Structure 1
Amino acid sequence: MYHRFRTALLVALVAGSTLALAACNSGVVKRVSPPGASVQQLTVRADGGWDVALRLQNFSSMPMVFNDLSLALKVGDEDAGTLTAKPAVSIGGVSAEVVTLQLQPASGARLVVADALAGNRTLAYSLKGTVSATPQEKKQRSFDVDSRSTLNQAPGLPGVLR
């Protein structure tokens, strides 16, 4: 019986010291990771221009202010144009925000999007360029973005791809 009590006491002491050590190391790790960018929605306006809802994703563990962006948008195999902005939007750690930008696309890109909408087909796109952001209490940094994805026609919303 004494042996069981001693073993139980030893286990309790080890568990308690492990918890105490874990509590001492509970500080939040501040990590800066490259952000992401993707097209959340592309809306074709009556004048042929596009409204591009751009999703900016902060993968860092701390808030970052997104200062500048310059992203070349390609739809299918056609260059559409460059999305440029100075959004000055603060995005919390591991969060996202959407900014809407206007673009007057190249004629070839307009045809690709019109064809996808008319045929209810998936539209492949890519974004390539840079996003400048300032992590909390740090200096502004420029991050390369190179992403690819697809958009589909939004049901019941003519001229809208999501």
Structure 2
Amino acid sequence: MAALLLGACSHGMVRRISEPSAQIQQLTVRADGRWAVELRIENFSSIPMQFDSVDLALNVGGNEAGRVTAQPSMSIGPESADVVTTIFAPQAAGKLAVADALAAGRSISYTLIGTVAATPDEAHQRSFEVKHSSQLSPAPGLPGVLR
């Protein structure tokens, strides 16, 4: 029995591919009215993954804000994360909701829904569904910045 257990352990690490996550690390309202969104992509897999593209619908404070898209072309190690910045022109309703939250100094909820395309180490590209909801709060001392 002990030989069976030892034999089972000697095959090395299990290659587990898990769905990644994407969340906003920081949203900055730029002087030109566009937003710079720092998107944190998390690889929960036990192997490295090459993140090829991100296409996420962004909703802030219950209002459509637009699409967060990027082609990061970056490898993220096992159970690690990295950040990609994308800039886009938000829709009017989302822009107003964020401006109101910043002016009032209050938090605002957001939701990201869409897909992240990634290629597991030595495998074929896969498309992963992503849905993440959270809150952003004004960053003290940094006007126009939510974290």
TM normalised by structure 2 equals 0.94
Residue in structure 2 matched with residue 102 of structure 1 by the alignment: 87
Say which SS state the counterpart of residue 74 (structure 1) adopts: strand
The residue identity in structure 2 corresponding to 1:146 is K
Q: What percent identity do the matched residue pairs reach?
A: 55
- Is 1:142 matched up with 2:127? yes
Say which SS state the counterpart of residue 121 (structure 1) adopts: coil
The residue identity in structure 2 corresponding to 1:86 is Q
Deviation at 1:103, TM superposition (A): 1.2
Residue in structure 1 matched with residue 39 of structure 2 by the alignment: 54
The residue identity in structure 2 corresponding to 1:138 is A
How big is the alpha-carbon RMSD for the aligned residues of Structure 1 and Structure 2?
Answer: 1.7
| 1:71-150 equivalences in 2 (<5 Å) | 71-150=56-135
The residue identity in structure 2 corresponding to 1:110 is K
Residue in structure 1 matched with residue 141 of structure 2 by the alignment: 156
Say which SS state the counterpart of residue 137 (structure 1) adopts: coil
Deviation at 1:24, TM superposition (A): 4.1
Matches of 2:31 and 2:106 in 1, distance apart? 21
The residue identity in structure 2 corresponding to 1:155 is P
Deviation at 1:23, TM superposition (A): 8.6
Matches of 2:7 and 2:135 in 1, distance apart? 44
Unaligned runs of 5+ in 2: none
Residue in structure 2 matched with residue 68 of structure 1 by the alignment: 53
Aligned residues: 146
Deviation at 1:22, TM superposition (A): 7.4
Structure number with higher helix proportion: 1
Residue in structure 2 matched with residue 8 of structure 1 by the alignment: none
Unaligned runs of 5+ in 1: 1-13
The residue identity in structure 2 corresponding to 1:85 is A
Matches of 1:56 and 1:85 in 2, distance apart? 11
